[in-house]
């Protein structure tokens, strides 16, 4: 395209094509390489854990013998944690989001709260564990219980829930709110009857994604004292507990190779659960986007 | 209930000022929980750290390079743990930055919209895998594979853990860098093309330098994430605090130390117990500083100071 090279032009089109194609290939390799690596690693875990994956594994209890080990207390613990965490994090998180989006006057206090929330999102999860240890386990005397674990996780998830809920609330068109006000509704009636139900799928998606993160959290739970060897089912919110990632961690820490097979099997179960949760969130989001256009 | 229906409009005509204030108050209280969270974190860390520093002077903490609080001969040099955190984080970012940046360039400059729609969420998957699973991968698969190429690589080491951590933080760098690159105005790119540069030259000389603040911010956030990461290093990097830059030997990071003590039965209120808060405070300060730096960088981008 260029004839004589003017100042600033160094190459012809044809000379440029080779290096450009090579660079494009390098970039694509850089993108695909980690994905391939992950696939290989997950595949190896699947192969390694496969012999142990059975109904008795899912319904059994941990044992000193690797072949007899099961993850039932871990599954029950994780399930209990998720239920309690949602019960604590959702009202507070959605409530805070509603306040920030619908009620808060724009000013210094509101900006302070917003900056604070984004800072909290960046705090390492183990620090939340330390907070939970001092505040819930010791100061509020909850002990190393499911309740303390759930409270700690709820604080950890709070910034995520608030941010996702605010996003969902923002997608509700202002015209809907103004229509309600025009009919004489006050702010809470508008929120309760119109805004919240419209934003609900987006909020639910955010909650499911936050839960998918919480189910894999290990460090804060270890810090507040979740046990790593729990051959019993938790019988109340005050009882000691374990969770699936902690059980996996316990098996990894054991020297016998049989326990590594258990760990791999546990990993497959955990990944399957997370796949389900993320899939659910994706389906919800797709449904929501379809309805939002109508 | 739809806005236009008769029951709805009948209800809507009743003004309820008192309950409105109560509700607003309750919602404000919910928002205040987040503030209480921060106050709680700082309060807890400060109280126990001050208790720690009443017994161990700050000079012993900052002036020593050996960390042995659980041994008979107690040394409290936090730099041993900081070195471990530093080493693993550097290896992680060293892995994630080149791969993530190139991936970001591909996504924003070369990929079609449909391809981006598939590849971008796929990269996000890397960030969604629980870190305990990554730790297992590092210990059981990556380290043995590396041992075949790296002489003298121990079973627990910073290299394997750091590499896997890099894969975990790659989506952060890729995603934020892609946003930064995407934000470079089309006019600048077209000016580069108009001058006869090709795509490569435009990327190298115009797009990347313009996006550098955003890319820098993404790197800082990636570092912050790596510094705060616990399970990968607790599983694969070792439990031997060591002031070294050798990636082949076992080390211990700040986060792994906290896990180590939490797994044991150190009674509350003792000096050993307080060490986890002193270390936690150090960790908190580091990540806060990194987050402030990334905020400052991103403000520079938003202010229109792309140049």
- Model confidence at B8: pLDDT above 60: no
Judge whether B242 and B252 are in contact, CB under 8 Å: yes
SS (H, E, C) B267-300: CCCCHHHHHHHHHHHHHHHHHHHHHHHHHHHHHH
- Probe site for chain A from B146, B231, B288, B289 (most A CB atoms < 10 A): B231
Chain A CB within 8 Å of residue B269 CB: no
Give me the percent of chain B exceeding a pLDDT of 70: 93
Q: Is A21 on the interface with B (CB under 8 A)?
A: no
* Interface probe, candidates A31, A240, A244, A257, chain B, greatest B C-beta count within 10 A: A31
**In the predicted model, is pLDDT for residue B7 greater than 60?**
no
Residue pLDDT, tens place only, A145-185 = 999 999 999 999 999 999 999 999 999 999 999 999 999 88
**pLDDT tens digits, one per residue of B38-58:** 999 999 999 999 999 999 889
Q: Residue A291: which pLDDT band, with cuts at 50, 70 and 90?
A: low
Backbone angles phi, psi at B182, to 5 degrees: -65, -30
Mean pLDDT calculated for residue range B190-194: 89
Nearest by CB to A20, from B30, B102, B199: name it: B199
User: Dihedral of the CA atoms A39, A42, A45, A51 (nearest 10)?
Assistant: -90
Q: Read off the pLDDT band of B302 (50, 70, 90).
A: low
Model confidence pLDDT, tens digit, residues A189-215:
899 999 999 999 899 999 999 999 999
- Kindly report the nearest CA distance between residue B33 and chain A, in angstroms: 8
| Cβ neighbours, 10 Å, residue A148 | 28
> Residue A76 above 70 pLDDT?
yes
**Where does the pLDDT of residue A39 fall: very low under 50, low under 70, confident under 90, or very high at 90 and above?**
very high
Burial class (CB in 10 A: 0-12, 13-18, 19+), A29: middle
**Two structure tokens written together for B228:** 């705060």
Q: How far apart are the C-alpha atoms of A280 and A294, rounded to whole Å?
A: 22
Task: Say whether B167 sits in a helix, a strand or coil.
Answer: helix
Predicted-complex ipTM score: 0.89
pLDDT given at position B307: 44
- Cβ contact B171:B123 at 8 Å: yes
B33:A33 CB<8 A = no
Residue A13's pLDDT band (cuts 50, 70, 90): low
Chain B, residues 63-92, CB within 8 A of chain A, namely none
Q: Which residues of B touch A2 (CB under 8 A)?
A: 196
Task: Name the residue among A267, B179, B193, B246 with its Cα closest to residue A259.
Answer: A267
Q: pLDDT tens-digit profile of A134-156?
A: 999 999 988 889 999 999 999 99
CA distance A23 to A17: 10
User: Measuring CA to CA, which residue among A276, A263, A279, A277 is closest to residue A44?
Assistant: A263
Which residues in chain B are closer than 8 Å to A172, comparing Cβ atoms? none
B187 touches chain A (CB under 8 A): no
| pLDDT per residue as tens digits for the range B44-101 | 999 999 999 999 889 889 988 899 988 888 889 999 999 999 999 999 999 999 999 9
Q: Which of A244, A250, A290 is nearest to A269 (CA)?
A: A244
Q: Which residue is closest to B13 within chain A, CA to CA?
A: A184
| β partners of residue B76 | B67
Residues 54-83 of A with CB under 8 A from B: none
pTM value? Answer: 0.90
Residues contacting A72, CB < 8 A, separation 6+: A58, A59, A60, A61, A233
Q: How many residues does chain B have?
A: 307
Tell me the pLDDT tens digit for each residue of B208-218: 998 998 999 99
Instruction: Copy the structure tokens of residue A255.
Output: 């020297």
Q: What is the pLDDT of residues A40-56, one digit of tens each?
A: 999 999 999 998 888 88
A282 closest CA partner among A215, A201, A228, A218: A201
B288 touches chain A (CB under 8 A): yes
Please give the Cα distance from B83 to A287 (Å, whole number). Answer: 48
pLDDT-derived band at B269 (thresholds 50, 70, 90) equals: confident
């Amino acid at each position: 395209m260029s004839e004589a090279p003017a100042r600033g032009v160094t190459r012809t089109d044809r000379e440029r094509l080779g290096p450009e194609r090579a660079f494009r290939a390098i970039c694509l390799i850089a993108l695909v390489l980690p994905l391939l690596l992950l696939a290989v690693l997950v595949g190896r875990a699947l192969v390694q854990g496969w012999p142990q994956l059975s109904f008795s594994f899912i319904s059994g209890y941990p044992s000193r013998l690797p072949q007899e080990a099961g993850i039932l207390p871990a599954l029950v613990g994780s399930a209990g944690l998720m239920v309690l965490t949602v019960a604590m994090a959702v009202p507070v998180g959605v409530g805070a989001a509603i306040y920030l989006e619908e009620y808060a006057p724009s000013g210094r206090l509101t900006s302070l709260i917003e900056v604070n929330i984004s800072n909290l999102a960046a705090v390492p999860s183990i620090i939340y564990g330390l907070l939970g240890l001092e505040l819930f386990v010791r100061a509020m005397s909850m002990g190393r219980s499911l309740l303390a674990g759930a409270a700690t996780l709820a604080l950890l998830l709070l910034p995520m829930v608030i941010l996702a809920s605010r996003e969902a609330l923002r997608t509700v068109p202002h015209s809907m709110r103004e229509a309600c006000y025009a009919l004489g509704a006050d702010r809470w009636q508008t929120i309760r009857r119109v805004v919240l139900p419209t934003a609900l799928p987006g909020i639910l998606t955010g909650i499911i994604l936050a839960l998918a993160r919480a189910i894999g959290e290990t460090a804060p739970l270890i810090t507040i004292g979740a046990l790593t060897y729990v051959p019993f089912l938790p019988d109340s919110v005050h009882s000691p507990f374990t969770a699936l990632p902690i059980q996996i961690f316990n098996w990894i820490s054991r020297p016998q190779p049989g326990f590594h097979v258990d760990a791999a099997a546990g990993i497959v179960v955990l990944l399957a659960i997370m796949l389900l949760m993320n899939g659910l969130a994706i389906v919800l989001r797709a449904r929501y986007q379809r309805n939002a256009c109508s | 209930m739809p806005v236009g229906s008769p029951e709805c409009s009948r209800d809507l005509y009743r003004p309820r000022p008192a309950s409105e204030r109560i509700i607003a108050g309750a919602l404000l209280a919910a928002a205040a929980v987040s503030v209480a969270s921060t106050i709680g974190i700082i309060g807890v860390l400060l109280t126990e750290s001050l208790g720690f520093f009443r017994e161990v002077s700050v000079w012993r903490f900052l002036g020593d390079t050996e960390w042995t609080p659980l041994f008979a001969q107690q040394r409290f040099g936090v730099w041993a743990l900081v070195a471990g955190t530093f080493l693993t984080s550097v290896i992680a970012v060293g892995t994630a930055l080149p791969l993530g940046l190139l991936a970001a360039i591909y996504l924003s400059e070369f990929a079609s919209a449909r391809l981006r729609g598939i590849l971008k969420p796929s990269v996000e998957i890397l960030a969604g895998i629980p870190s305990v699973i990554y730790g297992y991968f590092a210990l059981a698969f990556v380290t043995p594979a590396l041992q075949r190429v790296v002489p003298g690589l121990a079973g627990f080491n910073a290299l394997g853990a750091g590499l896997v951590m890099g894969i975990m933080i790659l989506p952060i760098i890729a995603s934020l860098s892609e946003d930064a690159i995407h934000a470079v105005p089309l006019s600048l790119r077209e000016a580069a093309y108009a001058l006869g540069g090709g795509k490569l030259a435009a990327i190298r000389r115009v797009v990347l330098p313009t996006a550098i603040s955003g890319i820098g911010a993404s790197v800082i956030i990636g570092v912050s994430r790596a510094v705060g990461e616990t399970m990968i290093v607790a599983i694969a990097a070792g439990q031997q605090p060591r002031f070294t830059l050798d990636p082949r030997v076992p080390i211990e990071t700040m986060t792994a130390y906290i896990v180590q003590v939490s797994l044991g039965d150190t009674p509350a209120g003792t000096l050993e117990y307080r060490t986890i808060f002193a270390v936690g405070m150090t960790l908190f300060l580091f990540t806060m500083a990194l987050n402030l730096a990334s905020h400052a960088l991103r403000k520079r981008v938003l202010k229109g100071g792309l140049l």
